[in-house]
Structure 1
């Protein structure tokens, strides 16, 4: 009989939590802490209606037996399509903050499951502590831990933080039309250009918003939510709009986060929110690294004077004299207590060399195994670790570098079909346990470690905080 599968990946990081997942005539409840995955099948024979073969996939989270949330979507057992419900688009799945814990989740709609994309829908769910003040709690003022070097910490990071919404891109599309997506990406992305050649006559401009969703959106929570989930390191690529559209008044002429030539969050907005968070959480410390990887020259990069102006304006308007800016030397040599004493709780870096586990080939994966295989190869070079500013462990897959996956993602682009979201659960369940079990032994104690991921979630942060605790204890 026709059926459609749903692969579920869960992580529970605190006691007294249970996660219930269900489809018609099948329910599984998970109570143990840690990583867990399973597959459920929406089978037409288990749906009582003869004409309507939609079966509901649901997950519920309970705390001490009390239901906290219920999220669902209807899955057609015959066509495999998922629609309706509370998980119909990426934007409709923000993290849920309840009491002292947070629920992060997301759904990838598999559609027909063209190779190499998954044939089953993918759902990830994490339930962890609210880490709004995790550095404060891990190294309280006056504690022995506070007098340890800041570089002992493992900092959770939201990859491509500026691509967390369609606000800038939607404004651009309204003003100049959907054809701009093809224009911008084919000028700056060779892989996209080759795929477009295979789609001769395909009306890309008609599905432009969905293409951006599928290929560029890497986060779905607000910046404030990411900070409350626990992110403490951000890479930001500030640049001006592409020259082909800058003069068309589609958006204010200022610096934006750039994903290739697609604009995201404004740099001024980013700085303002970071500083507001630091003022509200007076013992926390955040590291920001400015980089321009992949940003084309047609998107004008800021001068040193312009970078200083943006930062000084943000401090003037939002810091209230309570925050000073630290640098790489501070990150490498100061204790947590010293940074707090000197108010250097915003550390700004600019194109600092890192030892990164990322490679175009290794992270171009649908299952994450090549990412995990690269971790020990990169980290075994202790000399390289000592020479760089810090170590960057990248857990996210870049399936957009797989041409067949990119092709099908464009053809079937939709608000739940992000090829980047397709790999979230399966990769995390390989990369994060490896990091949990190996980072303390394989990474230099004298170097800050960053743990980076798409779709920032509690499991990524929980692993990083646990590693920080163990490194501080040494």
Structure 2
């Protein structure tokens, strides 16, 4: 009988919580704490009621002490795998659910037939973790021995390409063909996909192509900070010269993914400062960098950067000031708090990163784990911090992007496919092997679609390193 598979990944870090995955005729319940699980279900037509009805519902439910705190579902056709109605159909709808002290982060990938080495089964991941809005206050309370230790003891969760969490600004720019023409000239993957279609078809599908290439987060910045993120890399630049004259959006600094504009830098700083004012013991680290930003996207001057920062900090009335890379490396947690240096901001640091173009261009994560196995204190030596990059850049594989776009629906981004597959390998590695990293050096753990499992692994290692 026809059937369609769904691979279900789960992680729970809150006592009393359960995750139930279900399809017609079968359900799986997960309740073990801090275990990375992967289970398989099938939408099997033999379990679907009604003659000539091949559509069944996949769903997951999260409960806390018996009370439901999250429920998401989607109809799936067992014959062709097509999605019907449901709350998992669009990536835009897959935003984390915050329920007081618990955050449920999740995602769903519509696999299609599984071409270009992408999975044949749909992929769904669910992470249930504490609300980590104030996790630094919890692991290093003011006046505690932990707070007197160096800030560099921390493991910091990081959202990869934080500025690409929605299509608002890119969508506005796509009202003309300028961005399309620019991307065809500077991005080989975009050019290959565009070369398969007429210009009118490219323009119609451009939002899907851009989303597949660039959207790496699903949540608002406020939610990502609540999930636990405390490190960000931001690439502030003005619109490409071929686009800037059209003035599709205000002429200011935006996160730049190649020539694709994301979150405004002003909004990023405003929301970060607002969060820090609401959480007086938390510390956020921001690195500004411009790798991959085209020269035709004008970089900010030193005066520009100072003006943006000063404007953002002004609302704190002196309760916040900017710290430096040296402050991050040399001061204790309590010193940073006492000096109000809870927004640490620096430019282009020479950190040790596990990322390579070859290793992270993967659909199964094995080459990323191979890179992690090469980490040791010797390769970390002399660097200000270590950046472990868990995300796959399958967007560097043209056939993968082409399939994701041409088979496009709102949940077919290849990054949604690789996220749970890679996490099921990289996060257990970090959980088990974090102790082999240099103990006095700050560690960043970066991921696409930041989730509670990534954050929880980091918080637990921070707790252990501060003991």
Q: TM-score, normalised by structure 1?
A: 0.96
Matched positions, count: 466
Query: How far apart, CA to CA, are the structure 1 residues paired with 2:108 and 2:275?
Result: 29
State the partner residue of 1:147. Answer: 148
Q: Map 1:68-147; keep pairs closer than 5 Å.
A: 68-147=69-148
SS at match of 1:423: helix
Q: Aligned partners of 1:15 and 1:162: how far apart in 2?
A: 33
Counterpart among 371, 381, 384 of residue 368 in structure 2: 371
Distance of aligned partners of 1:112 and 1:202 in 2 relative to their CA distance in 1, 3 Å threshold: farther
> Deviation at 1:239?
0.4
Query: Aligned residue for 1:430?
Result: 425
- Shift of residue 160 of structure 1? 0.4
Residues 179 and 259, structure 2, Cα contact 8 Å, conserved in 1: no
Distance 1:173 1:84 in 2: 28
Aligned to 2:415: 420
CA contact (8 A) 1:180 1:205 kept: no
> What is the DSSP-based 3-state SS (H/G/I as helix, E as strand, rest coil) of the residue aligned with 2:381?
helix
Choose from 427, 438, 453 the match for 2:447.
453
Q: State the match for 1:291 in structure 2.
A: 289
Counterpart residue number, 2:208: 210
Q: Deviations over 1:234-269 (max 9, x none)?
A: 000000001111000101000000111110000000
- What pairs up with 1:159-238 in 2 under 5 angstroms? 159-174=160-175, 176=176, 179-199=177-197, 203-238=201-236
CA contact (8 A) 1:150 1:335 kept: yes
Note the alpha carbon deviations across 1:366-385, whole angstroms, 9 max, x for none: 111110111121x23x3441
Matching of residue 329 in structure 1 with residue 326 in structure 2: yes
Change (3 A) 1:412 1:180: farther
Contact 1:213–1:415 under 8 Å retained in 2: no
For residues 363 and 470 of structure 1, the distance between their equivalents in structure 2, rounded to whole angstroms, comes to 29
CA distance in 2, matches of 1:116, 1:250: 38
Q: Distance in 2 between matches of 1:184 and 1:45?
A: 50
> Is 2:386 the partner of 1:391?
yes
TM-score w.r.t. structure 2 length?
0.97
Deviation at 1:397, TM superposition (A): 0.5
**Cα RMSD, aligned residues only:** 1.3
| 8 Å Cα contact 2:233-2:287 kept in structure 1 | yes
Residue 209 to residue 192, structure 1, CA distance change in 2 (3 Å): closer
SS of equivalent to 2:420: helix
Whether the aligned pair in 2 keeps the contact of 1:214 and 1:415 (CA below 8 Å) is no
Q: Unpaired segments of 5 or more residues in structure 2?
A: none
1:201–1:187 Cα change, 3 Å: closer
Q: Where does structure 1 lack aligned partners over 5 or more consecutive residues?
A: none
What do the CA deviations read for 1:158-214 (whole angstroms, capped 9, x no partner)?
Answer: 00000001111122223x1xx445323222212332343344678111111222222
**Distance of 1:187 and 1:279 partners within structure 2:** 43
Instruction: Name whichever of 140-149 and 399-408 sits farther off.
Output: 399-408
